[in-house]
Amino acid sequence: MLTYRPGGTFAHRLDARSKLVCQFGFAVAAFAGPTPRRLAALSALAALVLAAGRLSPLRVARSYRFVLFILLLGPLSAALALTPPYVEFSRAVGPLLAIARVVLVLAVAAVYVRTTPVRETRAVIQRYVPGRTGQALGVGVGLTFRFLPVLRRDLLTVRDAIAARGGGHRSVLDRAKRIAVVGLARALSRADRLAVALRARCFAWNPTPPEMALSARDYPVLALGVALALWPLVI
């Protein structure tokens, strides 16, 4: 699973706000209309974004492999039929274009997650979403980014433990049930420990945010995000 890693790449040096605006504009441009020409241009831009964060496309594909598998079921089911012709690839073109835009947005989002500290994301949310709503969203995003990788490691540990004890001979349903039960128990236990840790550390709804300032390199990224958001209106 992709998580934040400190680094000195171009994407790391950008302000979280400019990256969010660019990511939002990219998503708007991608979902406005999945034409081959537009997807080709956005693919080139996504490749530049990955290069800016020094993130390998293979690493992104491995992190989203289950999502990609589910997405590919759409074109596959569209191409197959129970009556002749049983396979017609032309029916899969539309679904393929539709999922291609999702893959591109996921790639850009992966760069943001990889290069942006969680506390900066929380600070942006609490700064621009007023009141308790912004505070709750900021806390939720921060805990989600920190908690999900831990839960994933727990599930992988449970899976490996079952395999080490000869669980490979059990049915898929039995293994899934065991992983779900033990994983849920560990998640609840970690939630209790997290609540105690937050109280012990005098958890604050409105902590002192990190210093954030736009630099000269952020303004072209902001302009790109706005241009991408307006692109569907112009073309």
Domain ranges of the chain: 16-117+213-234, 132-200
71-111: per-residue pLDDT in tens?
Answer: 888 888 878 877 777 788 778 788 888 888 889 999 999 99
What digits encode the pLDDT tens for the residues 136-187? Answer: 777 777 777 777 777 778 888 888 888 888 777 778 888 888 888 888 888 8
Task: Specify burial of residue 202 (Cβ count, 10 A radius: 0-12, 13-18, 19+).
Answer: exposed
- What is the three-state SS of the chain? CCCCCCCCCCCCCCCHHHHHHHHHHHHHHHHHCCCHHHHHHHHHHHHHHHHHCCCCHHHHHHHCHHHHHHHHHHHHHHHECCCCCCECHHHHHHHHHHHHHHHHHHHHHHHHHHHCCHHHHHHHHHHHCCHHHHHHHHHHHHHHHHHHHHHHHHHHHHHHHHHHCCHHHCCHHHHHHHHHHHHHHHHHHHHHHHHHHHHHCCCCCCCCCCCCCCCCCHHHHHHHHHHHHHHHHHC
Is the peptide bond between 209 and the residue preceding it cis, with omega within 30 degrees of 0?
A: no
Query: Tokens 């605006």 label which residue?
Result: 21
**Once rounded to an integer, what is the mean pLDDT over residues 64-72?**
84
Least confident of 37-41, 89-93, 142-146, 190-194: 142-146
pLDDT at 205: 61
Type of residue at 88: E
Looking at the predicted structure, is the pLDDT value of residue 44 above 90?
Answer: yes
pLDDT of amino acid 203 = 65
Q: What is the pTM of this model?
A: 0.76
Is residue 26 over pLDDT 70?
Answer: yes
pLDDT in tens, 195-233: 777 677 666 666 677 788 889 999 999 999 999 999 887
More confident call, 229 vs 129: 229
Q: Which of 234, 233, 227 is nearest to 42 (CA)?
A: 227
Q: Which two tokens stand for residue 224?
A: 């790109």
